[in-house]
Amino acid sequence: MADHLQEEEQLEAISQWWQESRSSIIALVVLTLGGTLGWSQYEEYTSEKAVAAANTYDGLLQERDSGESAEELALISASLRETHDGETFAEFASLQVAAAAVAAGDLVLARAELESVMATVELDSTLGQLVQLRLARVMAASGDEAAAVAILEQGSSSFPASYAQALGDIHLAAGRESEALLAYQSAQTESLTLGGQLGLVDLKVSGLSLRDAEDSIEDSQ
């Protein structure tokens, strides 16, 4: 996924991929894991388990689309973790619940869901870096600025511009305009390198640069 996409777009891309590919993925799971005559009971169990996880995740998406609350979605996510902890569908489910929780203003639930994924995902993977980015934003919104900055300052190979932009937002909210400007400029550079555009960041850089120039003129007078 392109780095210039916002986290919400990245998560929606996951949902769209699943909706478009659900039938073929389940069919492939069945054929690959459980469709060959003579396979052991363990392999049959693995096939059934994978299909069950896919169906549960699909149910969560349907409940989300019908307007179910984040708390109710969290119950489905919890059931997936009980039986499929550390597996892709359980991680995707937690991301969906976290997004719903943020939209509902429940940052405690959002953080809990994201941290559950952090406990199992490879942190240097694309998904791991996306989870950390979202977690940093939730931490910052919750007032845990130091923890958020610590995550974002590590940087990201998959989403370097988004990490820099998020870091700039935190610095700007805290009144650290010089640090914010440096972070936004880094986001600009990374975005251009990847062939993307960050219009909002461009505006922030222009605004902060103009303010910095005005301050310099005032100081020289």
Q: Which residues contact 124 (CB under 8 A, 6 or more apart)?
A: 157
Predicted confidence (pLDDT) per residue in 48-102, tens digit: 777 888 889 889 999 999 999 999 999 999 999 998 888 888 898 999 999 999 9
Predicted confidence (pLDDT) per residue in 3-48, tens digit: 444 555 566 656 655 555 555 555 555 455 444 444 444 354 456 7
Q: State both tokens at 113.
A: 């869901």
The percent of residues in the chain predicted with pLDDT above 70, rounded, is 71
- What is the reported pTM? 0.77
Phi/psi at 192 (nearest 5 deg)? -65, -35
